[in-house]
Amino acid sequence: MEPVQPGASVVQTGLGIRYVGPDYCYAYSGSYQASNTSQTVLDFTSGSGTIFGKIELYAAAKFVSPGDGGQTTCQVAFNGEVITVMKAATEGGAHGFGDAKCNVVIPPQTDVVIQVDSNEDTALELVHVILTGRVYGTE
C-alpha cells in the first residue's frame, strides 16, 4: 500500500463543514444509530462565500439486512430558523424511499444545524446526512 501523498486530502466526517479549494465544500455526518430522540448530525457556520448545494438524508438502514428499515426525518435550520423538514423511509423494501434531497442556498456566515429523528431506536440501523456544494464569492 502506498502512503498518502502530502498534497492529498483526507475525507472527514463530523459536525463541521470542509472546504475543498476555494470552490467546493462538503459535510458528511458520519453514521448515527437510528434513535427516536433527536440527534444533531451537522452543526457549523459557513464561510465567507455563498454555497449553492444539496442536502441529502439517508434514512435508517441496516447494511446486512436491506429489507429492514424505518422512517427518518431531518430538520434543517439556518440561524435558528427552520428552513425545511425532510422525510425518508426505508421500511418495506422496494416500497420505501430511502433518501430525500433538498437544494439549498447558504448565505455567508450562516449557522447551520441539521438534526435527525427516527421512528425506531436501534443500533443496527444507521442514518446519514450529506451536504455537498459549490462555493461562490470567496475572497
- Cell 438502514, located at residue: 61
User: What gap in Å lies between CA 53 and CA 135, rounded to an integer?
Assistant: 8
pTM assigned to the model = 0.88
CATH number of the domain at 42, please: 2.60.120.660
Q: What angle do CA 77, 80, 86 make, to 5 degrees?
A: 20
- Cβ contacts of residue 124 below 8 Å, gap of 6+? 62, 65, 68
- Domain assignment of residue 23, yes or no: no
Domain span at residue 58 reads 35-128
- Structurally, the chain folds into a number of domains equal to 1
**CA 4 centroid distance within chain:** 26
Instruction: Please give the chain's pLDDT, 139 residues, in tens.
Output: 556 555 656 678 889 999 998 899 999 999 999 999 999 999 999 999 999 999 999 998 888 887 778 899 999 999 999 999 999 988 755 545 689 999 999 999 999 999 999 998 988 899 999 999 999 997 6
- Domain assignment of residue 137, yes or no: no
- Domain assignment of residue 54, yes or no: yes
